[in-house]
């Protein structure tokens, strides 16, 4: 079967003024990972959204720390967001990340010298549950180690009460030194139990964007779309684009990369917007284009509230524009557009998704 690759650049505009995009970062140009913030501290640590070493996508979170004196970390935003409304008590939670080390200090005797992955859980009052984060130590028995999954043991993380705020962090203690890459963060309930979800665990999408990637969203550390993420490999404008990769022989699941909610003025029923994307693809299987499950495209969802932490999905409708690509123009790039009509006066926001359907296949380039 021929295989191809797709790169997307999304835009949303009012139909009467279609040159003004309402998406804050439709070109994936921030150069910063979605949902993660770098805190370098005061010891000269350098934190980067790195491409030199990755576990499976396009980026990792890197900390280079040559000196002691202060901690440094990457810390996430609140993962109780979108359709996750809390982290349930009584669930055996598996948490961690893939880690690669180079030249780290070895055999530290306390947390000041350790590299760690942490999960921070907060109750309804905003208090940290159990008073401390759940911590996983990075392997420092040797100075350097290739990628490995650093995860907790069975029954070692089970919340006594529901959590309404959860953050994850990748940290170097004040006396820790060396270089560590963190990628493919994991947060999942064992034995099929629902534990909520961590967001941008693959650390591959740009600010203002999120994803759901099969088989179950990405929070298990597994992906049917390995190599998907923001890239400099090809672009229509600027320096970056979003690459979606579906490997031949993968399970039949979808990949969606979605925006944050974009505000819609009150009482906008009937108002029209244009959603468009510049797309480049190669080697698509033209013989399969009659089957919509082989398509790519974009989806829009109308919401009656802007997204907030712990405030739900709030969907009131939506639609799809899916397409099969049979040719290319303008140096391989082609623009696809659709007109969206606000369905009723309760709509307050819209979100957009770049989407690869269940049977779509492609390769990274």
**160 and 236 both lie in a single domain:** no
**350 and 324 both lie in a single domain:** yes
Which range marks the domain in which residue 120 is found?
35-204
What pLDDT score does 164 carry? Answer: 96
Q: Are 217 and 197 in contact (CB under 8 A)?
A: yes
Per-residue pLDDT tens digits for 301-344: 999 999 988 788 999 999 998 876 654 444 578 888 889 999 99
Q: Are 107 and 92 in contact (CB under 8 A)?
A: no
**211 and 360 both lie in a single domain:** yes
**What pTM was estimated for this model as a whole?**
0.93
What pLDDT score does 252 carry? Answer: 87
**303 and 231 both lie in a single domain:** yes
**182 and 222 both lie in a single domain:** no
Split into its structural domains, the chain has a count of: 2
What pLDDT score does 330 carry? Answer: 43
**25 and 60 both lie in a single domain:** no
Measured between alpha carbons, how far apart are the two ends of the chain, in Å? 17
Q: Which of 204, 235, 268 is the last residue of a domain?
A: 204
Q: Which of 161, 189, 204 is the last residue of a domain?
A: 204
**Cα–Cα nearest to 351, from 311, 317, 303:** 303
193-204: burial string, b at 16+ Cβ within 10 Å, e else: eebbbbbbbbbb
CA distance linking residue 83 with residue 250, whole number of Å: 26
**133 and 181 both lie in a single domain:** yes
H/E run at residue 336: strand 333-341
What pLDDT score does 15 carry? Answer: 54
What are residue 156's phi and psi, to 5 degrees? -90, -15
**134 and 60 both lie in a single domain:** yes
CATH of the domain at 256: 2.60.120.260
What DSSP designation does 70 have? Answer: S
**89 and 13 both lie in a single domain:** no
Q: How far is CA 185 from the centre of its chain?
A: 10
Per-residue pLDDT tens digits for 41-98: 999 999 999 999 999 899 999 999 999 999 999 999 999 999 899 999 999 999 999 9
**190 and 277 both lie in a single domain:** no
**28 and 45 both lie in a single domain:** no
What pLDDT score does 296 carry? Answer: 79
Q: Which of 204, 229, 249 is the last residue of a domain?
A: 204
CA distance linking residue 121 with residue 8, whole number of Å: 35
**164 and 285 both lie in a single domain:** no
What are residue 16's phi and psi, to 5 degrees? -80, -10
Q: Which residues of the chain register pLDDT less than 70?
A: 1-19, 282-290, 324-331, 362-365
Q: Number of helices (H) and strands (E) in the chain: give both, helices first.
A: 0, 21
H/E run at residue 156: none
């Amino acid at each position: 079967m021929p295989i191809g690759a797709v790169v997307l650049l999304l835009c949303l505009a009012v139909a009467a003024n279609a040159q003004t995009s309402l998406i804050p970062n439709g070109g994936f140009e921030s150069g910063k990972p979605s949902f993660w913030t770098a805190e370098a501290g005061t010891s000269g640590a350098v934190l980067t959204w790195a491409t030199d070493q990755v576990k499976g996508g396009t980026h990792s979170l890197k900390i280079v720390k040559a000196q002691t004196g202060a901690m440094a970390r990457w810390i996430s935003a609140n993962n109780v967001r979108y359709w996750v409304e809390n982290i349930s008590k009584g669930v055996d939670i598996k948490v961690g990340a893939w880690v690669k080390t180079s030249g780290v200090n070895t055999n530290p005797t306390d947390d000041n010298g350790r590299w760690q992955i942490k999960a921070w859980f907060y109750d309804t009052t905003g208090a940290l549950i159990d008073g401390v984060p759940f911590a996983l130590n990075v392997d420092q028995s040797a100075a350097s180690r290739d990628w490995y999954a650093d995860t907790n043991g069975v029954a070692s993380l089970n919340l006594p009460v529901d959590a309404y705020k959860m953050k994850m962090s990748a940290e170097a203690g004040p006396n820790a030194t060396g270089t560590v890459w963190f990628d493919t963060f994991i947060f999942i309930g064992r034995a099929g139990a629902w534990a909520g979800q961590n967001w941008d665990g693959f650390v591959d999408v740009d600010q203002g964007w999120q994803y759901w990637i099969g088989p179950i969203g990405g929070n298990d550390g597994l992906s049917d779309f390995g190599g998907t993420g923001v890239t400099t490999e090809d672009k229509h404008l600027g320096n970056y684009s979003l690459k979606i990769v579906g490997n031949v022989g993968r399970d039949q699941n979808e990949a969606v990369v979605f925006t944050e909610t974009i505000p819609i003025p009150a009482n906008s029923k009937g108002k029209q917007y244009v959603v468009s994307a510049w797309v480049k693809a190669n080697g698509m299987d033209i013989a399969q284009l009659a089957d919509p499950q082989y398509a790519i495209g974009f989806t829009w969802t109308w919401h009656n509230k802007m997204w907030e932490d712990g405030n739900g999905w709030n969907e009131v409708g939506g639609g799809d524009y899916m397409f099969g690509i049979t040719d290319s123009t303008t140096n391989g790039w082609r623009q696809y557009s659709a007109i969206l009509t606000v369905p009723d006066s309760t709509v307050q926001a819209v979100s957009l998704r770049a989407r690869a359907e269940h049977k779509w296949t492609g390769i990274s380039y």
